[in-house]
């Protein structure tokens, strides 16, 4: 089964299957009972025991069902967020792809040229598109692909391969074994660092974790106040110094407080003055040193926030930040605001850092753990 079918099945699967499974299991439980008939007392004992067993089994199953239902609902919700957040890209990119298939009735050089243009327009990035086209051409030749409908599926398949390559993608947050987990947020001005911190804090609270925000952006006027306001709104603890003070010393004091207060996750906001790369590098080095001194192995994550609407510029930012500090993951915000959502694929290939979260809107639910399958579904659902 191709990836296209797999994803289609995953998200469109009806609930019928589950009901069927449940029936079969219950029947086999009854059968067991009749099979193992015994005599008198022993028999009665046995029956009682079995009844009890059956009850607990039923309860267990019910509980399991409820748990499963919850996660299923969660999956459904998050698929909806992906669908909605990727509307612009889908309407642009996928409708072009569908039109292309309608326009040509077989695979020709013109078809490939137009496809290449569509992919570049979707901000997948020239290099990525080139290697993609090479692979696609080869596959068409080797597998003798003539059917354009089928080729559409191969395209989806190959786009997925761009992202996954041969690696196991780790998009989970690396939580510390012993709290607090320290997450450092970096990125240039206006990309969405502060609001991402707020969304993440709200999500962590839903999971029952306590959070503290530290205002490491002491540079921009108003940044400390803004973070404080988000901390209040999300029921987070907050630590901030005064404007213009040394970010490292604010972070040092904040982390001490976080340890005293038994905080689970500390979210650190920073200023992103990439114009002055050397200064930023030195500052981040100092910040990392300070964090490591107080929290061994910290920071556990350094997330680079990138605004998807800035397209290739965002990719350059990722490359620049990668040079100056150890980035463990990318948060790609404002995907809902661009028709060029292909940037997700480009980042992974051209920078080699996994996208861990994506922003698909301004609500807290709109910050989603990046899931390539949901992403592909959100993009191509009209074709499935």
Ligand X SMILES: Nc1nc2c(ncn2[C@@H]2O[C@H](COP(=O)(O)OP(=O)(O)OP(=O)(O)O)[C@@H](O)[C@H]2O)c(=O)[nH]1
Q: Give the residues lining the site for ligand X (CB under 6 A).
A: 187, 189-195, 217, 220, 223, 272, 333-334, 336-337, 359-362, 366
Strand partners, 330: 304, 355
Token pair for 349 = 């290939």
Task: Please identify, using beta-carbon distances, which residue of 193 and 374 lies nearer to Mg ion.
Answer: 193
Task: Please identify, using beta-carbon distances, which residue of 217 and 301 lies nearer to ligand X.
Answer: 217
Least separation in angstroms between residue 242's CB and ligand X is: 17
Binding-site partner at residue 191 among Mg ion, ligand X, none, CB < 5 to 8 Å by type: ligand X
Task: Please identify, using beta-carbon distances, which residue of 180 and 361 lies nearer to ligand X.
Answer: 361
Stretch that binds Mg ion, among 84-92, 193-201, 327-335, 338-346 (CB under 5 A): 193-201
Least separation in angstroms between residue 201's CB and Mg ion is: 14
- The rounded distance, in Å, linking the Cα atoms of 250 and 71 is 39
Binding-site partner at residue 288 among Mg ion, ligand X, none, CB < 5 to 8 Å by type: none
Q: With left for phi above 0 and alpha for psi between -120 and 50, is residue 125 left, alpha or beta?
A: left
Task: Please identify, using beta-carbon distances, which residue of 7 and 197 lies nearer to ligand X.
Answer: 197
Peptide bond just before 180 cis, omega within 30 deg: yes
Binding-site partner at residue 123 among Mg ion, ligand X, none, CB < 5 to 8 Å by type: none
* Residue 47, Cβ density class (10 Å: 0-12 exposed, 13-18 middle, ≥19 buried): middle
Least separation in angstroms between residue 332's CB and ligand X is: 8
Asked if 327 contacts 298 with a C-beta cutoff of 8 angstroms, the reply is: no
- CB neighbours of residue 379 within 10 Å: 23
Question: Does position 194 bind Mg ion by CB under 5 A?
Answer: yes
Q: Which residues of 91-102 are buried (b: 16+ CB within 10 A; e: fewer)?
A: ebbbebbeebbe
Query: Nearest CA to 215 among 254, 182, 187, 183?
Result: 254
Least separation in angstroms between residue 273's CB and ligand X is: 9
Least separation in angstroms between residue 374's CB and ligand X is: 16
**Chain residue whose CB lies nearest Mg ion:** 194
Asked if 65 contacts 57 with a C-beta cutoff of 8 angstroms, the reply is: no
Element (H, E) at 355: strand 355-359
Least separation in angstroms between residue 375's CB and Mg ion is: 26
Q: Taking CB under 5 A as the criterion, which residues in 147-186 touch Mg ion?
A: none
Task: Please identify, using beta-carbon distances, which residue of 125 and 187 lies nearer to ligand X.
Answer: 187
CA 303 to chain CA centroid, nearest Å:
12
Task: Please identify, using beta-carbon distances, which residue of 132 and 357 lies nearer to ligand X.
Answer: 357
Least separation in angstroms between residue 245's CB and ligand X is: 17
Task: Give me the sign of the Cα torsion angle 193, 365, 77, 122.
Answer: negative
Tell me if residue 190 falls in helix, strand or coil.
Answer: coil
Task: Please identify, using beta-carbon distances, which residue of 194 and 218 lies nearer to Mg ion.
Answer: 194
With a CB cutoff of 8 Å and minimum separation 6, the contacts of 21 are: none
Binding-site partner at residue 359 among Mg ion, ligand X, none, CB < 5 to 8 Å by type: ligand X
Stretch that binds Mg ion, among 165-173, 176-184, 190-198, 357-365 (CB under 5 A): 190-198
- The rounded distance, in Å, linking the Cα atoms of 319 and 39 is 77
Stretch that binds Mg ion, among 4-12, 63-71, 96-104, 187-195 (CB under 5 A): 187-195
Q: With left for phi above 0 and alpha for psi between -120 and 50, is residue 361 left, alpha or beta?
A: left
**Chain residue whose CB lies nearest ligand X:** 359
Least separation in angstroms between residue 251's CB and ligand X is: 16
Cα pseudo-dihedral 87, 88, 89, 94, rounded to 10: 70
Stretch that binds Mg ion, among 43-51, 188-196, 293-301, 373-381 (CB under 5 A): 188-196
Task: Please identify, using beta-carbon distances, which residue of 101 and 195 lies nearer to ligand X.
Answer: 195
Question: Does position 350 bind Mg ion by CB under 5 A?
Answer: no
Least separation in angstroms between residue 192's CB and ligand X is: 3
Task: Please identify, using beta-carbon distances, which residue of 304 and 360 lies nearer to ligand X.
Answer: 360
Write out the residues near Mg ion by the rule CB under 5 A: 193-194
């Amino acid at each position: 089964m191709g990836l296209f079918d797999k994803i289609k099945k995953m998200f469109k699967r009806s609930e019928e299957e589950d009901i069927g499974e449940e029936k079969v299991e219950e029947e086999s439980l009854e059968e067991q009972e009749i099979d193992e008939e015994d005599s008198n007392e022993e028999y009665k004992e046995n029956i009682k025991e079995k009844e009890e067993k059956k009850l607990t089994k039923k309860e267990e199953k019910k509980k399991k069902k409820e748990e499963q239902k919850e996660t299923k609902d969660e999956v459904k919700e998050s698929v909806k967020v992906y669908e909605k957040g990727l509307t612009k890209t889908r309407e642009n990119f996928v409708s072009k792809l569908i039109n292309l298939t309608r326009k040509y009735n077989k695979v020709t050089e013109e078809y490939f040229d137009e496809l290449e243009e569509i992919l570049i327009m979707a901000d997948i990035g020239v290099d990525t598109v080139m290697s993609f086209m090479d692979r696609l051409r080869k596959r068409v030749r080797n597998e003798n692909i003539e059917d354009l409908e089928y080729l559409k599926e191969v395209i989806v398949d190959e786009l997925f391969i761009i992202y996954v390559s041969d690696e196991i993608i780790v998009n989970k947050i690396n939580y510390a074994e012993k709290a607090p987990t320290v997450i450092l947020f970096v990125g240039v001005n206006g990309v969405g660092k502060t609001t991402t911190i707020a969304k993440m804090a709200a999500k962590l609270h839903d999971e029952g974790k306590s959070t503290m925000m530290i205002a490491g952006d002491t540079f921009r006027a108003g940044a400390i106040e803004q973070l404080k306001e988000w901390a209040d709104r999300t029921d987070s603890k907050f630590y901030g110094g005064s404007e213009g003070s040394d970010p490292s010393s604010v972070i040092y004091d904040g982390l001490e407080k976080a340890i005293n207060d038994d905080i689970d996750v500390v979210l650190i906001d920073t200023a992103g003055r990439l114009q002055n790369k050397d200064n930023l590098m030195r500052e981040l080095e100092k910040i990392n040193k300070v964090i490591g001194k107080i929290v061994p192995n910290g920071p556990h994550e350094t997330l680079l926030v990138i605004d998807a609407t800035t397209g290739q510029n965002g990719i350059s930012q990722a490359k620049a930040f990668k040079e100056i500090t150890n980035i463990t993951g990318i948060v790609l915000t404002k995907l809902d605001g661009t028709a060029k959502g292909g940037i997700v694929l480009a980042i992974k290939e051209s920078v080699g850092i996994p996208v861990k979260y994506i922003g698909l809107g301004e609500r807290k639910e709109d910050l989603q753990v990046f899931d390539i399958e949901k992403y592909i579904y959100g993009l191509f659902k009209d074709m499935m």
